[in-house]
Amino acid sequence: MATKLFLISESAAKQIKHLLEKNNQPDNTRMRVTVDGGGCSGFQYSFNFDNKLNPDDVVFNKNDIEVVTDTISLGFLDNAELTYINELGASAFKIINPNAIASCGCGNSFSVDLEP
């Protein structure tokens, strides 16, 4: 089985660290990124903080910041990048996903080609 890759940008790692420190989170707290069914395009991203690891979790590290996802979500996130956008009027985590064939205007919902 080929190794799947999920990238974390410098801006995302910096913002995650800032949020963890600001909210006095325990040292073992990680950002959890999951893909759930729903949203206007079929699938949607979910971002949470979590200090538990499940047996099917995969952990990715950038500058001592950990991001975790489950193996099912990783199938949709392979070669994608978690980044943090800070623009005039909006700041948010964003997934740049080469597997998405379409996405909604807000960028939190996407679709993939399910054909083999």
CATH number, residue 56:
2.60.300.12
61 inside domain? yes
Task: Tally the domains of the chain.
Answer: 1
Task: Answer whether residue 115 shows pLDDT above 50.
Answer: no
CB of 77 within 8 A of CB of 95? Answer: yes
90 inside domain? yes
12 inside domain? yes
> What does the pLDDT look like over 22-58, one tens digit per residue?
999 988 999 999 988 766 657 788 999 999 999 999 9
Q: List the domain range (segments joined by +) for residue 37.
A: 6-111
Pairing of strands 65-70, 100-103: unpaired
**Whole-model pTM?**
0.84
107 inside domain? yes
**SS3 breakdown of the chain: % helix, strand, coil, rounded to 5?**
15, 45, 35
